[in-house]
A = this chain, B = another copy of it.
Amino acid sequence: MPGKRIFASAQDVEAAFYEALEKADIELMMTIWSEDDEIVCVHPGGSRLVGYPPIREAWRRIFDTGRRLQVHLAPVTAVSTPFSTVHSLIVQVSISGTSDVSAPLAVTNVYVRGAMGWRMVVHHASAVPPEALSTETAPKILH
């Protein structure tokens, strides 16, 4: 089950999410998710995963490949209400130590504020055409 770490903002959750992705840290990754039964994760080209166990299993398999990923984020658009925030990002993922870069991804991240602070409830990522990047501000390195 998720740990007891409290996130004070959606931005804090998002930073921890991408830190976990880059470090292939499954415990940190699962800390950021809401305990809601209906959390949803869609990886690029993958199925829709609903609930904690399948989402954990999919991240474990990604991290077990041993490839270390580096994430480049283009600036975020956000729509917020008092208890929720939606971020829309353009993301590029590269494999550390190689010149391999993924197609740009459109990402929708949804965060909800509950008794345990802010947590992620939806991560939806899908490949978009390469020209998507040219219409966005140049990506920046996360860390």
Contact = CB atoms under 8 A, between A and B. Distances in A.
Contacts of A126: 42, 44, 106, 124, 126-127
A83 B126 CA distance: 26
Given A108-B42, A108-B122, A128-B42, A88 B47 contact: no
Nearest to A110: B86
Contact of A79 (B88, B122, B131): B122
A90 interface: yes
Nearest to A40: B88
Contact of A48 (B106, B110, B121): B106
Nearest to A89: B48
Interface residues of A, number: 38
Given A38-B77, A77-B38, A84-B81, A108 B110 contact: yes
Main secondary structure, interface of A, reads: strand
Nearest to A108: B124
B48 A88 contact: yes
Contacts of A82: 81-83
Interface of A: 34, 36, 38-40, 42, 44-48, 50, 77-79, 81-84, 86, 88, 90, 106, 108, 110, 112-113, 121-122, 124, 126-129, 131-132, 135-136
